[in-house]
Amino acid sequence: MNDTIVAISTALGEGAISIIRISGCDAISIVNPLFKGKNLEKVKSHTINYGHIVYKNEIIDEVLLSIMKKPKTYTKEDVIEINTHGSIAVVNKIMEILLLSGCRLAEPGEFTKRAFLNGRIDLTESEGVKDLINSQTELERKMAVNELSGKVSTLITDLRDKIVALISNIEVNIDYPEYQDIEVVTIDKIKAEVYNMLGQLRKILKLSEDGKVIKDGIKTVILGKPNVGKSSLLNALLEEEKAIVTDIKGTTRDIVEGSIIIGGIKLNLIDTAGVRASSDVVEKIGIEKSISLIDEAELVLLVLDSSEELSSEDKFLLDKTKNKKRIVIMNKNDLENKNLYDEEVIRISAKENIGIEEIKEKIKELFNIGVFLGKNLTFFTNARQIALLKSAIESLEEAKKGAEENKEIDMIEIDLKLAWERLGDIIGANYTEELIDNLFSKFCLGK
Ligand SMILES: Nc1nc2c(ncn2[C@@H]2O[C@H](COP(=O)(O)OP(=O)(O)OP(=O)(O)O)[C@@H](O)[C@H]2O)c(=O)[nH]1
Ligand SMILES: [Mg+2]
């Protein structure tokens, strides 16, 4: 942490400008001799300064240099950002000079890691930075900003404070039972507090699990018997002739994948081999794959053929997917209707591109996308946070059980402490070197 780090913060390549970022206690003393312009030791903090980078009497580039003196900076250290012309040659040359002058090349995410280690942000906020940089959809952006803004941290901190208050009350009662003026923690009070916290955490968990599915992309399996138009539907959704379409039953043998963004969320679409009894070895393997994908699917688009009567394969698939999140689609609506299936369906013609928008609307409804685009939701978006949340809930459930069964109060206290620790792990209150290294290594260089 004592060395001064440097990295290129903009994407490498030709562009109007590139930014080289430097952070650490020697940032100013390293850059000052290389900068021909105002004396950086003397300029005010948070100013932009015009000048040149000069090395061994040679002008390397004309630059704008931002100087931000600690502690009000991204890393809480002295930070300098050099805006250079966006040429690979310029950037490489300035990097080389800075490395020769005493800077060390930053590791991926090291600036944010310093922000965390110096206490400016906590772990969930750090993850928010990464998520924001990686965000591709409007929804991902919203979720990341929520994380980054510290809402998640505040929520966890409040809950931890509540648990601490409860624990200290319990301890005072155990240690000084003779004190008259101290509030007595009754089992009823513990129960009420724990119920309350559990309710809050369970709600967040539900929201977080839905949110994670949406963030990672909804695994959507297009299913149906042969020739109903599954591949045609995939192509219509993707607006691209990705899968082969023919009138021969069993055209698709292996899965075909593609992804689209609907209302700010990503759908990972999988077109499968049509399900039927088949003696063809290759087709059979494909069919087995189609069926096994049902379990993994987060959404099933089950396609029926309007121009044919409901068959035993259709019935088999309708039954197999009855407990899944699914949309039943009646395709070939442009032909004469001979299919008497009378449950809720969306009628489309994949061939004529009719009804595709309705499918998209239904998906938005099924996944409550409107709710996630709402502003004031607080929830967790990655597997690490969700796993810890679950474990905190388990400990609170144990505490609740203990209270209900009138267990020794210090047994209940142990579970409360465990819940407090797990919640602390979410924000990085007690972190290990390994966890931190692993987490920040997933960041991009220069962040
Ligand atoms: N009339 C009409 N024909 C369609 C429609 N959708 C697909 N088809 C035709 O139905 C045939 C089968 O379409 P595919 O998309 O290959 O069907 P599939 O379900 O992927 O078939 P397999 O891969 O064999 O399981 C093709 O000849 C398509 O042109 C539709 O909406 N209306
Ligand atoms: Mg197909």
pLDDT, residue 119, reads 92
In a domain, 442, yes or no: no
Q: What is the pLDDT of residues 150-169, one digit of tens each?
A: 888 888 899 999 999 888 88
Label residue 373 by pLDDT band (50, 70, 90): confident
Q: Which ligand is nearest to the CA of 287?
A: 1
Residue 379 scores a pLDDT above 90: no
Q: Is 133 in the pocket of ligand 1 (CB under 6 A)?
A: no
Same domain, residue pair 361 and 221: yes
Query: For atom 13 of ligand 1, which residue has the closest CA?
Result: 229
Mean pLDDT for the stretch of residues 217-229: 95
Contact 49, 39 (CB under 8 A): no
Same domain, residue pair 113 and 221: no
Cβ atoms within 10 Å, residue 358: 14
In a domain, 320, yes or no: yes
pLDDT, residue 160, reads 93
Distances (CA, A) of 413 to 173, 354, 400, 402, 409: 12, 61, 11, 10, 6
pLDDT, residue 375, reads 60
Query: For atom 12 of ligand 1, which residue has the closest CA?
Result: 227
Label residue 410 by pLDDT band (50, 70, 90): confident
In a domain, 434, yes or no: no
CA of 273 to the centre of ligand 2 (A): 6
Contact 27, 43 (CB under 8 A): no
Same domain, residue pair 78 and 221: no
Last residue of a domain, one of 349, 372, 395: 372
CA of 417 to the centre of ligand 2 (A): 55
d(CA 315, CA 321): 10
Last residue of a domain, one of 96, 117, 138: 117
pLDDT, residue 430, reads 81
Residue 248 CA from chain centroid, whole number: 41
pLDDT, residue 145, reads 86
Residue 368 scores a pLDDT above 70: yes
Three-class secondary structure of residue 337 per DSSP: coil
Same domain, residue pair 364 and 241: yes
In a domain, 166, yes or no: no
Residue entry with tokens 């965000």: 135
In a domain, 325, yes or no: yes
Same domain, residue pair 228 and 105: no
Mean pLDDT for the stretch of residues 338-342: 92
Same domain, residue pair 342 and 221: yes
Closest atom, ligand 1, to C-alpha of 331: 31
Q: What is the mean pLDDT of the chain?
A: 91
Backbone phi and psi for residue 60, each to the nearest 5 degrees, phi listed first = -90, -45
Residue 181 scores a pLDDT above 70: no
CA of 27 to the centre of ligand 2 (A): 60
In a domain, 142, yes or no: no
Report residue 268 as tokens.
């990972």
Residue 434 or residue 79, greater confidence? 79
CA-wise closest residue to 335 among 223, 226, 228: 228
CA of 365 to the centre of ligand 2 (A): 27
Label residue 215 by pLDDT band (50, 70, 90): confident
CATH number of residue 42's parent domain: 3.30.1360.120
Q: Is 351 in the pocket of ligand 1 (CB under 6 A)?
A: yes
Q: Which ligand is nearest to the CA of 233?
A: 1
Q: What is the pLDDT of residues 32-84, one digit of tens each?
A: 999 999 999 999 999 999 999 999 999 999 999 999 999 999 999 999 999 99
Q: Is 253 in the pocket of ligand 1 (CB under 6 A)?
A: no
DSSP secondary-structure letter at 182? S
Same domain, residue pair 98 and 244: no
Task: Supply the range of the domain harboring residue 278.
Answer: 217-372
d(CA 184, CA 195): 19
Which H or E run contains 208? helix 187-216
Residue 255 scores a pLDDT above 80: yes
Q: Which ligand is nearest to the CA of 245?
A: 1
Least confident interval from 137-146, 170-179, 227-236, 310-319? 170-179
Q: Is 227 in the pocket of ligand 1 (CB under 6 A)?
A: yes
Same domain, residue pair 366 and 223: yes
pLDDT, residue 358, reads 97
Three-class secondary structure of residue 219 per DSSP: strand
Maximal CA-CA distance, the chain = 87
Mean pLDDT for the stretch of residues 5-20: 91
Task: Report the percent of the chain where pLDDT is more than 70.
Answer: 97
Go through 164-203 and write b for each residue having 16 or more CB atoms within 10 A of its CB, e for each that does not.
eebbebbeebeeeeeeeeeeebeeeebbebbeebbeebee
Same domain, residue pair 238 and 363: yes
Residue 166: left (phi > 0), alpha (psi -120 to 50), or beta? alpha
Residue 182 scores a pLDDT above 60: no
Residues facing 84 on adjacent strands:
18
In a domain, 32, yes or no: yes
CATH number of residue 323's parent domain: 3.40.50.300
Mean pLDDT for the stretch of residues 13-30: 94
Task: Report the percent of the chain where pLDDT is more than 90.
Answer: 65
Tell me how many domains the chain contains: 2
Same domain, residue pair 359 and 230: yes
Q: Which ligand is nearest to the CA of 250?
A: 1
Report residue 135 as tokens.
């965000």
Q: What is the pLDDT of residues 82-133, one digit of tens each?
A: 999 999 999 999 999 999 999 999 999 999 999 999 999 999 899 989 889 8
Last residue of a domain, one of 64, 86, 117: 117
CA of 364 to the centre of ligand 1 (A): 25
HSE of 135, CA atoms in CB hemisphere, 13 A: 23
Residue 184 scores a pLDDT above 70: no
pLDDT, residue 14, reads 83
In a domain, 134, yes or no: no
